Structure 1
Amino acid sequence: MTRAQRIRLFLGIMRLGERRNPASGSRWSKMLEWFGAALACLYLSACGVGLGFLAKDIGPYTIVGVMPFVLIVDFSMRFASRKKPIDITPYLILPVKRSEVIDSLLLSSLAAGYNFVWLCLFIPHCITVAAMGVAPLPEAAGIALVCQFLIETNCLWQLLVRSLTNKSLAWWALPAMAYAMPMAAAGMASTSDAPEAILDFFVAHGHTPVSILAYMACFAMLFVANRHVLLCSATQEATGDGTKRKAATKITLPEKWGITGEYMKLEIKSTMRNKAIKRNFMQGILLMSLLSAMITFTTIYDNDSFSQTTYCFYCFIFFGIVNLTRIMGAEGNYIDMLMTHKESTYQLLKAKYYYYCMVLAVPLAILLPAMISGKLPPSLVFAGLFTTTGPIYFILFQLAVNNRQTMPLNNTAIGRPGSNNAIPAMIGIVSFIAPIAAIQLIALAVGKETSLLIMTVAGLVFTVTHKLWLHNIYARMMRKKHANLEGFHATR
């Protein structure tokens, strides 16, 4: 069997493994996923047609000019999607070269369906540009191919960043510099806004033969770098080599709160030590910083009240959606110990609530520059803060009653896939959409400022009464504890 035949065989096995894995999701979760993908395709198609009409004034390379911003959105969405890792541990013990397994994994990532969703943006743009006579059809098709090639390159870039940041959080400086330096250079080199300068530069130089050769060189370098990093990471995880012992960090402040404080220490150490949870926090901080910088240093959202509300609430709700939708999943690894003492689980729920309330200091600090500069009104920021500590956490903590899927804590390159249950995903979507829709509806009747005041007061009511609804959640959990324990045991 030749190398190409072996790689083709590995690709087929990986596709079958993803399809047949029992943790790949229920029928309803897949239907929800397909529905979301259909909406995304419709939205991208509308954007592609709009950019096609805009190309009549700017030129046929308008889509190339906006590609830097598309790539940033694509980079962020790949982290937000939390794509399930492929379990390649069985392949590493086979009598085949590990490099061939890694090559198959990289090719599988490049051939993922998500990459081709962006064609819903490029193809309508190509058709519109050709139909309006801005560029002939072959040239428009060539522009679409270059843009799709950039998406594939961005796939490798995100995979490299994810692999490196799993090894050390210091690697987050790499994407920070990669995105901050061009923006700063564009701002210093032009009297206009940095985004406008970047758009003008890529419209003029983003489709030349030299730039296409540069894209190909970046693709090749990223492929080789990913190959090396994934091979080293997979080998270390499979053999246990390279594991270093770290000195234990002593946390004394929560001790004065008794057993609740001890559980708060557990939450803090879980965030500090476990890669899956720590990765979610770092992704959130990166996304929030980008949104805060866009609001503070650009004029795009100065008169866009809806976008300001959406981004502000997103920053506060993010940590709850990515972590609390899987509440009790981390504790599923040792849930038996929590059931041995009366109301131990209730104390844990209180500790989780207090901890995630304190975590909201992070988005508050990140949005502080936008609030000081006058781009975000303080009433909006405080409405987002107290709506999250109140109604949003009230909704998300309800999932503790039925969540029974153990969450792997340290899986990275070769980890076991996690759960893809539809109910937590739907609750997360509702938790994000509901408060924004409520503000818009109330504002139609009584005005924007009054609607923010109402949301703040409602949030304070839920926050003050948190012990009552947390105890209710605990009582319902205890009535289902045997079923939940069976689920946690079965998914470890």
Structure 2
Amino acid sequence: MTVRFLKLEWKQFFRSASFGKGIALKIIMAFLALYFIVSFLAIGVGGYYILKKEFPESDPLQLVNGYLLYAVLGDLIFRYLMQKLPVMNIKPLLMLPIKRSKLVHYILAKSSFSFFNFLGLFFYIPFAIVLIKEGYDVAGVLGWLFTIILMIQAVNFLNFLINKNNIALGAIVVILVSLIGLQKFGIYDVSAFGGQVFDAVYANPMFSLIGVAILAILYNLNYKQLRNLVYLDEAVSQKVEEATSADLSFADKLGDVAPFIKNDMRLIWRNKRTKTVFLMSFLFLFYGLIFFTQKSLNEVPAMLMFASLFITGGFALNYGQFIPAWDSAHYKMLMSQSFKYRKFLESKWILMVVMTSFLYLLSFPYLYFGLDIFLMITAGAIFNIGFNSLFLLYAGSFNRKRIDLNKSGFGNTQGTSATQFLIIIPLMLLPMLLFWVFDKFVGGNSGYIVVAAIGVIGLLCKKYALNFIEKKYIKNKYVMINAFGKEA
């Protein structure tokens, strides 16, 4: 039966109407996946020797074990935002004499072979092989590796249990941030505590059986939950939910753009893909921790500017690049209304600016890394507000791909075209290049000043820029109506 399911999905993939349309994008995504695989392999093979060189007095395995607790929580947050249950098209199969239990077991088994589950193994398996080569106990290493595999699968099934529960996501984020804070400020050695758990598994591989029990419990909980949903009447019935409306009267103070901003706020919070973009923008706040804590990167200031742009620009970059495709489902109706196109565009600009400003306020803790780093973040925020927000609006006039807002964000290339890849050049490379040139050849604070100055100039020219952008949208109005009217 499993072989038959696989054949059906294989045929569905190649016979899909969208298969040929996005073939170039699929190739790009494949190369991107290959890049991550090669990177993880390289770190897995060389990680032991790098840690041994940097920390000669410490055991590399214990160092890795100390950070596995953070890795589990981070992986869970990433999966919550990105991963979706690989539910195949089971509606036609529900009418056939196939046991629901087989369908459910197939769906859950398929989720175990997700790319998310394999990516980490390209680090852990080579790392384990190097450990054995360096004389570590074979049974202990294999028990440790087996526990890691069980842990990855457990996170996979735990994600499906808490998925769509915003309270659970908030709790996990708070726990992760709290643990990092306790470790960073020396209040409690979280790494030592987490490391002891995995060190014990290495010392006594039989402890890995605890992981088997945890995985079995999570699998069983998922099975029961999913089996209760696999009914024909559940599949064909239309899900009806009572729409709840938050009080957005505060936006009325913005004047003519208020109705558009209210609609955008409702659209963001009520749809899966836009909500994912919104929540992910807060995760980009922690992007700087990857760069600012690396001594080697401090010697390449341009890379620090790259991180600084992402810290405050997470929302603008991810939301702005798909304007106005977010409104593609009702774009035809929207364009039949009597309003100034300028107000529609200005509302998008205000939304990006407000979110960028809010993220900038949340970035104040980066003062811990020094005034130079915070000045870089400030310059990046001004650049995002003054230049990137307007450039993203302009780039949106070339969008021609419809977006289904109810679909998950990860692995969903719907709405993506060459435009999204081309706009990265001026958005990211321009400020990095300007900063590098002035920082290297002029020195002082000239790099920050030039990047920030571009943003200030953009703000001063906002009126003229929006007039130009408005004309571009009006010129392409009917082309976009026709494009968005087609099924993706």
Matched, 1:130 2:127: no
- Greater shift, 397-406 or 424-433, is seen at 424-433
When residues 422 and 35 of structure 1 are mapped into structure 2, their CA distance, relative to the original with a 3 A threshold, is farther
Which letter maps to 1:90?
A: K
Q: Give the whole-Å Cα distance in 1 for the aligned partners of 2:352 and 2:69.
A: 34
Report the CA distance between 1:10 and its aligned residue. 2.8
Q: Which residue of 2 aligns with 1:426?
A: 421
**Following superposition of structure 1 onto structure 2, how do residues 47-126 of structure 1 map, counting pairs within 5 Å?**
47-53=43-49, 54=51, 57-58=58-59, 60=61, 63-78=64-79, 86=87, 88=89, 90-91=91-92, 93-95=94-96, 96-126=98-128
Contact 2:260 2:347 in 1 (8 A): yes
| SS across alignment from 1:403 | coil
The unaligned stretches of length 5 or more in structure 2 are: none
Matched, 1:148 2:146: no
**Following superposition of structure 1 onto structure 2, how do residues 429-440 of structure 1 map, counting pairs within 5 Å?**
429-430=424-425, 431-432=427-428, 434-436=430-432, 438-440=434-436
Q: Give the whole-Å Cα distance in 2 for the aligned partners of 1:233 and 1:311.
A: 43
Q: Which residue of 2 aligns with 1:449?
A: 445
Q: Give the whole-Å Cα distance in 2 for the aligned partners of 1:428 and 1:18.
A: 30
Q: Which residue of 2 aligns with 1:35?
A: 31
- Greater shift, 146-155 or 30-39, is seen at 146-155
Q: Which residue of 2 aligns with 1:389?
A: 385
Deviations 1:326-355 (A, max 9, x none): 222221111112322576433211110111
Q: Give the whole-Å Cα distance in 2 for the aligned partners of 1:406 and 1:217.
A: 45
Deviations 1:68-99 (A, max 9, x none): 34434544544565669656463575344545
Contact 1:264 1:355 in 2 (8 A): yes
When residues 17 and 402 of structure 1 are mapped into structure 2, their CA distance, relative to the original with a 3 A threshold, is farther
**Following superposition of structure 1 onto structure 2, how do residues 452-467 of structure 1 map, counting pairs within 5 Å?**
452-467=448-463
When residues 225 and 378 of structure 1 are mapped into structure 2, their CA distance, relative to the original with a 3 A threshold, is same
Deviations 1:209-258 (A, max 9, x none): 354123223322332333344556777675345x4424433433443544
Q: Give the whole-Å Cα distance in 2 for the aligned partners of 1:157 and 1:433.
A: 39
When residues 434 and 44 of structure 1 are mapped into structure 2, their CA distance, relative to the original with a 3 A threshold, is farther
Which letter maps to 2:454?
A: A
Contact 2:85 2:111 in 1 (8 A): no
| SS across alignment from 1:330 | helix
Report the CA distance between 1:482 and its aligned residue. 3.2
Matched, 1:217 2:219: no
When residues 278 and 117 of structure 1 are mapped into structure 2, their CA distance, relative to the original with a 3 A threshold, is closer
The partner residue of 2:274 within 277, 292, 300 is: 277
When residues 73 and 60 of structure 1 are mapped into structure 2, their CA distance, relative to the original with a 3 A threshold, is same
Contact 2:316 2:356 in 1 (8 A): no
Which letter maps to 2:237?
A: T
Deviations 1:426-481 (A, max 9, x none): 24654445534543444222336321111011011123323333333333333333
- Greater shift, 82-91 or 362-371, is seen at 82-91
Report the CA distance between 1:107 and its aligned residue. 1.9
Q: Which residue of 2 aligns with 1:482?
A: 478
- Greater shift, 251-260 or 46-55, is seen at 251-260
TM-score (norm 2): 0.81
| SS across alignment from 1:380 | helix
- Greater shift, 326-335 or 362-371, is seen at 362-371
The partner residue of 2:343 within 347, 354, 358 is: 347
Report the CA distance between 1:302 and its aligned residue. 8.1
Which letter maps to 1:469?
A: A
Q: Give the whole-Å Cα distance in 2 for the aligned partners of 1:176 and 1:28.
A: 36
Q: Give the whole-Å Cα distance in 1 for the aligned partners of 2:230 and 2:318.
A: 26
Q: Give the whole-Å Cα distance in 2 for the aligned partners of 1:212 and 1:376.
A: 46
TM-score (norm 1): 0.81
Q: Which residue of 2 aligns with 1:158?
A: 159
Which letter maps to 1:204?
A: D
Contact 1:29 1:422 in 2 (8 A): yes
Deviations 1:1-53 (A, max 9, x none): xxxx2x44334433543454344662321222122223222322222133222
Q: Give the whole-Å Cα distance in 1 for the aligned partners of 2:429 and 2:236.
A: 41
Matched, 1:262 2:285: no
**Following superposition of structure 1 onto structure 2, how do residues 301-316 of structure 1 map, counting pairs within 5 Å?**
305=298, 306=301, 309-316=305-312
Alignment identity in percent? 16
Report the CA distance between 1:357 and its aligned residue. 0.7
Matched, 1:364 2:340: no
Higher RCO (CA-CA < 8 Å; seq separation 6+): 1
Q: Give the whole-Å Cα distance in 1 for the aligned partners of 2:164 and 2:195.
A: 33
Report the CA distance between 1:113 and its aligned residue. 3.4
Contact 2:86 2:111 in 1 (8 A): no
Matched, 1:13 2:18: no
The unaligned stretches of length 5 or more in structure 1 are: none
Which letter maps to 1:164?
A: K
